[in-house]
Amino acid sequence: MRLISQIFQPVVTIPKGAKIKNTEITCKSQKLLLECGLVRPTSAGLFTLLPLARRAVTKIENIIHRCLEEVGAQRITLPCLTSAKLWAASGRLDDVGPELIKVEDRHGKKFLLAPTHEEAIADLLADVGPISYKQLPFTLYQIGNKYRDEQRPKHGLLRAREFSMMDAYSVHASHSCAADTYSALTRAYTKIFRTLDLPVLRVQAPTGEMGGTLSHEWQLPSSAGEDTVAVCPSCSHTTLANETEECAKCGKEIERVNSIEVSHTFVLGTRYSEPLQVNCVGPDSSAPLHMGCYGIGITRLLAAILEVLSSDKSMRWPIEVAPYSAVVIGPKEGSKEWLKHDFDRVLGVAQRIHENGYRGDVLVDDRHGLTIGKRLMMADRIGYPFIIVCGKSALETPPRYELYRSTGGEAPTPQLLTIDELLTVMNERKNNINIEYRENVVV
């Protein structure tokens, strides 16, 4: 059972009434992640993810793993360093230019810290090819760090120089097959964002420097977003914002909202297979492979979740990705409640929750020198979905416990429940989603 006193969480304490003038903190998620001890900046655009943030990221990764494996994607790991020659061959070395972080080894060979891996995947396929049409289609994906030399990194994890990303690449013998896989991956993405209960909008977009024949951005409406989408209240048609005041689909007036791009998907066609000579061998001839690529910015998504769901003072999470789903708070040491409901009994409550659907996902607040009210306030600020307090009612027969649930900034109101009632309510809330915490699950 994990104790809060064991969690490495360097909280930034701001004196009451102090006025903070830090121009580096420019958005809500950045402020909350720093002050609550979930991340630590190392330099402009670079961050250390501390244990609570790392757990939340792992939970997002596990959701992505499950949804991608359901559509047959296979996980791989590519090197962070990619030969500059590959990017020169595709033409992107000069096109992307200043955003690339370039390095050179002791032998004078030039590499770059990859912001994405289309060239590396194409090179892999060329190296093992030619690929028979009988092997196709297939989709490879990875989760790892990417690098982009942002001119002005800001908004914390929303625009960083190093970030965690899932990038997937599908391989096909024809354009029609690529389109079918694109539809399947679109359904997987929809399931990912529905699992997170996020109102992400899929918007057709230019292919830009990535190239290809089709592209969609996945935008999450948020006041902190640097993008803008146009949404029609009448028919729900959504596009990237332009100068038009009316919806092209129904002619009604549109609404413009700021948004955060959390994902981008492309049908690439032969954009990378042709210059890097990746061919598919068919029954009668050989031709360049068709490709698709699919990205989700995971650390950006983490910050975007907080931007959308949190208040200015308290974090709020989907239950599926909260660092811990539940925290149990016992009486203050020395109180009359403590004499009858001591730490062993507090641990017993946590153990029951652990064994009933929340394995590895329960914290115990063992800072018994603090009042219940102080610890309750701190737990609500972190945004644990379930806060269980062993207070005066825990001395009744049968014992009843106070259950507080995150309310999006409003003062939480408790329910008084027996341990069996508590477990029933908690298991109803999680809606049959597996909350058990495991490291990097691949189903």
In tens, the pLDDT along 75-112 reads 999 999 999 999 999 999 998 888 999 999 999 999 99
Asked if the model's pLDDT at residue 147 lies above 90, the reply is yes
329: Cβ–Cβ under 8 A, 6 or more apart, which residues?
Answer: 365, 372, 375, 376, 379, 387, 388, 389, 390
The reported pLDDT for the residue numbered 46 is 96
What φ, ψ does residue 71 adopt, rounded to 5°?
-100, 15
Mean pLDDT, rounded, for 231-254: 87
Q: How confident is the model at residue 440 (pLDDT cuts 50, 70, 90)?
A: very low
* Number of residues written out for the chain: 443
Q: Which secondary-structure segment (H or E) carries 274?
A: none
Give the integer Cα–Cα distance in Å for 82 and 117.
8
Of the chain, the percentage scoring pLDDT greater than 90 comes to: 84
Q: How confident is the model at residue 410 (pLDDT cuts 50, 70, 90)?
A: low
Mean pLDDT, rounded, for 341-365: 97
- Select from 361, 422, 420, 355 the least CA-distant residue to 388: 422
Give the integer Cα–Cα distance in Å for 189 and 81.
27
Q: How confident is the model at residue 401 (pLDDT cuts 50, 70, 90)?
A: very high
Q: How confident is the model at residue 439 (pLDDT cuts 50, 70, 90)?
A: low
pTM metric for this prediction: 0.93
Sole residue written with tokens 């049409």:
133
Does residue 137 have a cis bond before it (omega within 30 degrees)?
A: yes
Asked if the model's pLDDT at residue 33 lies above 50, the reply is yes
The tens digit of pLDDT for each residue in 71-82 reads 999 999 999 999
Whole-number average pLDDT of the chain: 92
Label residue 18 left, alpha or beta by phi (over 0 means left) and psi (-120 to 50 means alpha).
Answer: beta
Neighbours of 66 (CB within 10 A): 17
Asked if the model's pLDDT at residue 435 lies above 50, the reply is no
Asked if the model's pLDDT at residue 138 lies above 50, the reply is yes
The domains located in the chain, with CATH, are 28-309 (3.30.930.10), 324-429 (3.40.50.800)
Mean pLDDT, rounded, for 182-188: 97
Distance between start and end Cα atoms, the chain: 25
442: Cβ–Cβ under 8 A, 6 or more apart, which residues?
Answer: 65, 69, 75
Give the integer Cα–Cα distance in Å for 290 and 34.
43
- Select from 51, 40, 38, 58 the least CA-distant residue to 6: 51
Neighbours of 47 (CB within 10 A): 23
Mean pLDDT, rounded, for 14-18: 67
The reported pLDDT for the residue numbered 129 is 82
Query: 297 near 262, Cβ under 8 Å?
Result: yes
The tens digit of pLDDT for each residue in 269-287 reads 999 999 999 999 998 889 9
The reported pLDDT for the residue numbered 431 is 56
The reported pLDDT for the residue numbered 1 is 80
Asked if the model's pLDDT at residue 408 lies above 70, the reply is no
433: Cβ–Cβ under 8 A, 6 or more apart, which residues?
Answer: 195, 319, 320
Question: Chain centroid to CA 232: how far?
Answer: 27
Asked if the model's pLDDT at residue 174 lies above 60, the reply is yes
Sole residue written with tokens 């918007």:
203
DSSP string, 303-338: HHHHHHH--SSS----TTTSS-SEEEE-PPTTSHHH
- Helix-then-strand count for the chain, H and E: 11, 23
Helix, strand and coil in the chain, % to nearest 5: 30, 25, 40
- Burial label, 99 (beta-carbon count in 10 A; 0-12, 13-18, 19+): middle
Per the structure block, which two tokens stand in for 410?
């409003």
Pairing state of beta strands 401-405 and 279-281? unpaired
The reported pLDDT for the residue numbered 97 is 81
Query: 141 near 189, Cβ under 8 Å?
Result: no
How far is it between the farthest Cα atoms of the chain? 85
Assign 3-class secondary structure to 207-272.
CHHHCCCEEEEEEEECCCCCEEEEECCCCCCEEECCCCCECCCCCCECEEEEEEEEEEEEEEECCC
Asked if the model's pLDDT at residue 432 lies above 50, the reply is no
Mean pLDDT, rounded, for 58-62: 98
Q: Which residue has the higher pLDDT, 205 or 410?
A: 205
Give the integer Cα–Cα distance in Å for 135 and 252.
48
